[in-house]
Amino acid sequence: GGRLHAAIEPEFRPDFAAAPACWEFGGKSVILVNIISVAFLAHYNGANYYSSLSSRSPARFNVAVICSFVLSAFVYCATAIAGARTWGAAADGMILNNYARRGDGLATGARLAMGVSIIASFPLMFTGLREAVTSLLKALAPTLLESFGADTAFVGLTALMMAPITGIAATVTDMSFIVGLVGASLGSLVIYCLPPILHTLAFSGETAGAFSSAGVHKGITVLGFLLAAVGTKYALM
């Protein structure tokens, strides 16, 4: 190894003896699918992204989405391949754990950049979650939020939601477990199940058939539930 090899924790040092074959498929492959689901899970902020687009139109939004997804796919693939080729079976769910904690300036800079990225992106994800919870509460109990006042309800709901999220983030050390579980349960449902279900309900008059739009949507929905069930099973193992 290099000069920092001894500074790496033993369990995080490169291990190619136990590395799986390139095309071997198993439980870890399912977990990878779960993680990929989270990587491309952006539906909850779609409306905000569209409203923020300059000279917005469906056509411009489609171009922005396609370009963003292609660029994201390239970055994720490059990162995954680099991690697997560098660390083998020892590659951790949080790949920065594989690097020395002291004496590696580049790794320290990467950890700092990761922290800044999380701090900057968290409001985007939390805003989508809070808006969804607010809409649900208004539908289930229309007068509940109004009884507290707009400002009090906003601050109180934010604090109540932030507390468990912060607690989980402070106690859970296996990041791949959380990402895999979220991707399997919520990611599969939001990506593969809800959109075709909503489309089928909105266009219920379409001709039914195995290869019709409605038939394809039903197939995608079944696939989504299957991925959610299998993915959740392997994430909890």
Residue pLDDT, tens place only, 74-129: 988 898 888 888 888 888 878 888 998 888 899 999 999 988 988 888 887 788 78
- Write down the pLDDT at residue 209: 54
Alpha carbon of 146 to those of 94, 167, 181: distances in Å?
A: 42, 28, 35
Output phi, psi for 88, to 5 deg. Answer: 65, -135
3-state class (DSSP) for residue 88: strand
Q: How far apart are CA 93 and CA 160, in angstroms?
A: 29
- Write down the pLDDT at residue 207: 55
- Write down the pLDDT at residue 20: 63
Half-sphere exposure of 83 (CA within 13 A, CB side): 18
Q: What letter represents residue 161's amino acid?
A: M
What global pTM score does this model have?
0.64
- Write down the pLDDT at residue 63: 92
Q: How far apart are CA 80 and CA 82, in angstroms?
A: 5
- Write down the pLDDT at residue 19: 61
160-200 per-position pLDDT tens digit = 998 998 888 888 877 777 777 777 787 888 888 888 888 88
Q: How far apart are CA 26 and CA 48, in angstroms?
A: 38
